[in-house]
Structure 1
Amino acid sequence: MNTRFPFADWFRNSSPYINAHRGRTFVILIEGDALSSSRRAQLIQDLALLHTLGVRLVVVFGVRPQVKDALDAAGIEAERHKGRWVVTREILGHLEQQVATLRLRLEASLSLGLPNTPLHGVELTAISGNLVMAKPLGVRDGIDFLHGGEVRRVRSEAIQGLLSQQAIVVLPPLGFSSTGEVFDLDAAEVAEHAAIALAADKLILLGEGEGLLGDDGELLRQLNPDEAAALAPPREDDSELSRHLAAACGAARHGVGRTHLLSWRDRDALLGELFTRDGIGTMITRQGYEQLRKARLEDVGGLLALLGPLEQRGILVARSRERLEHEIDDYVVLARDGMIIGCAALHVSRDAQMGELACVAVHDDYRRGQRGEQLLTDIELRARRAGLTRLYALTTHTVHWFIEHGFVSAVLEDLPPMRREAYNSARKSKVLLKTL
């Protein structure tokens, strides 16, 4: 049925993400090109919207184009080595000036109350400070980088305190030493270290490109760090993509759940990535230590160990080893250091364009971290690829969880004929349905 207001359906579909992001910590890198473009006002508005929706924001900004313009105007040509400037005292002066100017403009923009926008009247508090400690790069390959530095540590407790006061924390690409020196830092490195130190839920890197492209030129939607690193250009080429990929892979390997590569040139990229099912750019998620993948026959023992306690408590229907082995291709699992800590299954009904979401389970010790949501997202993706238009689920204990994730109450007659005939009336399972 057509709607008079298409945005209403979008808003309904985005509500699970609004709920999921509330109270989460996002570190967002905005490169200097974006802040000197006409897109700055829109980006500020999007940041304000995220803040009003309860997202805890840390904004890192870059100044490379601004500093280059200032050096060109002063007739200064900076020496470069492996993508980094050799920062003399003169260059540091220009760098400090550009950082201060852009930081003040950014904080001023966040303090305007956003007039003439849908967020007029919203009061935002933006705070910066000596929140990133640095150390000198020193002499490398015979080159003294002088005031060029790298992150020593991020003052995570201080930042957490500011975030708890509903402030937006702004981090420039500068760091401070314990001896009072100032060092030039790579903004992407600052964002990576901040995300790791804060155990951020997301690291979002806004650059020129829309993400990582495959050999066929198509955008790659989801990769693990090893897959992404294998496709990355050499770090020495100093490209923005190289720096962003290094930061994204490093953060993912150190526990940041999801990292995103997006283009600031796309006005819908930030909100589209966060509040739609398929997203806009490239997402890099952790792998190895904890991995979401298709189940294999050798996982059956782990599945039995995971499902056994839930079956004993009557939460799940008992499944034999033989049944699991027969249906193993229907399952996806979350494996953590060799242990199966979560699973879900998609059983496709041959007599209808719908599938059953079954056996959603997460180990008691790993209930935190939105692992159930990860499993659901993967099953939905597999269902859409199979051409299914709806998912259904039967449950006795977790009705509210399914409703919170877009399912609605249904009746037995809504099930495919074969599944309806196999319904166990003794369990009195609730029937739930979701349109994909």
Structure 2
Amino acid sequence: MDTRFPFVDWFRNASPYINAHRGRTFVILVEGEAMASGRGEQLIQDLALLHTLGVRLVVVFGIRPQVQQALMTAGIVPTRHDGRWVADSTVMAQVEQVAAHQRLWLEARLSLGLPSTPLHGVELTVVSGNLVMAKPLGVRDGVDFDHSGEVRRVRGGAIQGLLDKGSLVLLSPLGFSSTGEVFDLDASEVAQQTAVALNADKLILLGESEGLRDETGALLRQLTPAEAEPRLEYAEADSELRRHLQAACNASRQGVVRTHLLSWHNHDALLGELFTRDGVGTMITQHRYEQLRPAELSDVAGLLELLEPLERRGMLVARSRERLEHEIDDYVVIERDGMVIGCAALHEFPQSDIAELACVAVHSSYRGGERGERLVEALERRACKHSISSLFVLTTHTAHWFVEHGFRPATLEELPPLKRDTYNQARKSKVLLKELG
């Protein structure tokens, strides 16, 4: 009997990411709401799993809701200004107590190793301390913020040393000054500045929102800082999303390769973002992880994998590895996070101003995103640079698509002699032609 386990397929697909993340440095912010809602246990298990897979982890935890509850219980109403509370001595006493309690709870949960728990056999060394230096916000708009502060610097060398020893570094939203004072900090700023100081591979911000959405409500998977920053205008001044988005853009502009906005409400968010190709949230990066570029010899294996299903269905003529290697300079590909998800080729003919547009293919999981159009447009631009006046295609399944994109029905007589003489009569491919302006 053939017993299928979906987990096995997922595990196979995740294996490239397991290898890619090993030895990388991730800074992960977990907002206080996640802990207050009871999501802490599973998040800790996920963090422990990342540690066992070789990820170097710095975890920053927020405490805003816990402090608000403590202030309410103590009957303290803090002065608020510009999205921050004024941390006077009474407020600061509650902040320090909550931060210490939350840190101890996290350290205790990360030490759990009973046989009945997911952390059985995992020995984590958790280290925290005076790793973030701070300075006071001072007086702003006539308001003295007292012990509300901002990050002066992060002791990146000290944190790197702890990570090199295999420790998980835990940072609270508190900072210390050279005069021995303690300051209340914004957890998202701590995470951002830590990621920058470490030149981290990823900054992951776990908050209420699962990411950014467009005007239709669709989740935006990837943005550059330039694309993301205009959305700050529409975010509420004191909202968590605004703070996270600002931190993500700042970190990206300062060298953090990828920043991810995720929701802790989604129990699978952290692992789903890290170990699947498309992820589950919004990623902000200076570098597009989906790019259209000229093909290289190293793409041949990916091309074979992309084309084989279409060849099997008779949509494309079978191409051998040797043929692809020989013609590789004719191809452009769309690469998405290391996987070839689209391709097309421009085959030119000697002493002819007509060329063949061939092998236009997009992976079945990525159709509908105008990738086919991008491939064709790229090769039309290449053709124009090479003084090609028209393109032709031979197709059995997609004639309508090419007609919609400016091609017209043509005859064999309009093809170059070499292509006309080798036309496969058995396939009966339709001939389509497009004049280039």
For 1:247, give the aligned amino acid. A
Distance 1:151-1:11 versus aligned 2 partners, 3 A rule: same
2:339 corresponding residue in structure 1: 376
For 1:385, give the aligned amino acid. Y
For 2:137, give the aligned amino acid. L
2:63 corresponding residue in structure 1: 63
Give the conservation status (yes or no) of the 8 Å contact 1:175–1:185. yes
Give the conservation status (yes or no) of the 8 Å contact 2:199–2:255. yes
Distance 1:286-1:316 versus aligned 2 partners, 3 A rule: closer
Give the conservation status (yes or no) of the 8 Å contact 1:83–1:236. no
CA-to-aligned-CA distance 1:348-374 (integer Å, 9 cap, x gap):
9795379999869xxxxxxxxxxx874
Partners in 2 of 1:251 and 1:354 — Cα distance?
47
Secondary structure of 2:133 counterpart: strand
Partners in 2 of 1:286 and 1:378 — Cα distance?
21
Which residues in structure 2 correspond to 1:12-411 (within 5 Å)?
Answer: 12-113=12-113, 115-233=115-233, 237-286=237-286, 293-294=291-292, 352=315, 374=337, 376=339, 383=363, 384-386=365-367
> Could you tell which deviates more after superposition, 259-268 or 375-384?
375-384
- Give the superposition deviation at 1:75: 1.2
Distance 1:51-1:88 versus aligned 2 partners, 3 A rule: same
Secondary structure of 1:150 counterpart: strand
Partners in 1 of 2:318 and 2:103 — Cα distance?
51
CA-to-aligned-CA distance 1:393-425 (integer Å, 9 cap, x gap):
xxxxxxxxxxxxxxxxxxxxxxxxx9xx9xxxx
Distance 1:315-1:280 versus aligned 2 partners, 3 A rule: closer
CA-to-aligned-CA distance 1:14-51 (integer Å, 9 cap, x gap):
00000000000000000111112221110010000000
Secondary structure of 2:135 counterpart: strand
Give the conservation status (yes or no) of the 8 Å contact 2:289–2:337. no
Partners in 2 of 1:315 and 1:220 — Cα distance?
30
CA-to-aligned-CA distance 1:369-388 (integer Å, 9 cap, x gap):
xxx87453675996343489
Distance 1:49-1:315 versus aligned 2 partners, 3 A rule: closer
- Give the superposition deviation at 1:262: 0.7
- Give the superposition deviation at 1:121: 2.0
When the two structures are superposed, what TM-score results if normalisation uses the length of structure 2?
0.70
Partners in 1 of 2:285 and 2:341 — Cα distance?
13
Give the conservation status (yes or no) of the 8 Å contact 1:82–1:236. no
CA root-mean-square deviation: 3.4
CA-to-aligned-CA distance 1:121-155 (integer Å, 9 cap, x gap):
21111110000001111111111111111011100
Secondary structure of 1:160 counterpart: helix
Distance 1:386-1:145 versus aligned 2 partners, 3 A rule: same
CA-to-aligned-CA distance 1:211-250 (integer Å, 9 cap, x gap):
1111111111111111111123567621111111111111
Stretches of structure 2 lacking an aligned partner (at least 5 in a row): 301-305, 330-334, 344-360, 370-418, 423-437
1:9 corresponding residue in structure 2: 9
Partners in 2 of 1:224 and 1:81 — Cα distance?
31
Partners in 2 of 1:83 and 1:12 — Cα distance?
46
Partners in 1 of 2:227 and 2:307 — Cα distance?
29
Distance 1:73-1:354 versus aligned 2 partners, 3 A rule: farther
- Give the superposition deviation at 1:119: 3.3
Partners in 2 of 1:125 and 1:354 — Cα distance?
57
For 1:376, give the aligned amino acid. M
Partners in 2 of 1:180 and 1:272 — Cα distance?
42
For 2:74, give the aligned amino acid. A
For 2:222, give the aligned amino acid. Q
Secondary structure of 2:219 counterpart: coil
Secondary structure of 1:232 counterpart: helix
- Give the superposition deviation at 1:64: 0.2
Give the conservation status (yes or no) of the 8 Å contact 2:261–2:283. yes
Give the conservation status (yes or no) of the 8 Å contact 1:193–1:251. yes
Secondary structure of 1:237 counterpart: coil
Which protein shows a greater Rg? Answer: 2
Distance 1:96-1:377 versus aligned 2 partners, 3 A rule: farther
Give the conservation status (yes or no) of the 8 Å contact 2:133–2:154. yes
2:410 corresponding residue in structure 1: none
Partners in 2 of 1:228 and 1:353 — Cα distance?
39
Secondary structure of 1:278 counterpart: coil
> Could you tell which deviates more after superposition, 235-244 or 181-190?
235-244
Distance 1:123-1:82 versus aligned 2 partners, 3 A rule: same
Give the conservation status (yes or no) of the 8 Å contact 1:78–1:86. yes
When the two structures are superposed, what TM-score results if normalisation uses the length of structure 1?
0.70
Distance 1:108-1:315 versus aligned 2 partners, 3 A rule: closer
- Give the superposition deviation at 1:265: 1.1
Partners in 2 of 1:294 and 1:226 — Cα distance?
20
Partners in 2 of 1:355 and 1:110 — Cα distance?
54
Secondary structure of 2:112 counterpart: coil
Give the conservation status (yes or no) of the 8 Å contact 1:114–1:122. no
Distance 1:353-1:22 versus aligned 2 partners, 3 A rule: farther
Partners in 2 of 1:83 and 1:203 — Cα distance?
23
Give the conservation status (yes or no) of the 8 Å contact 1:79–1:85. yes
Secondary structure of 1:266 counterpart: coil
For 1:203, give the aligned amino acid. L
Secondary structure of 1:280 counterpart: coil
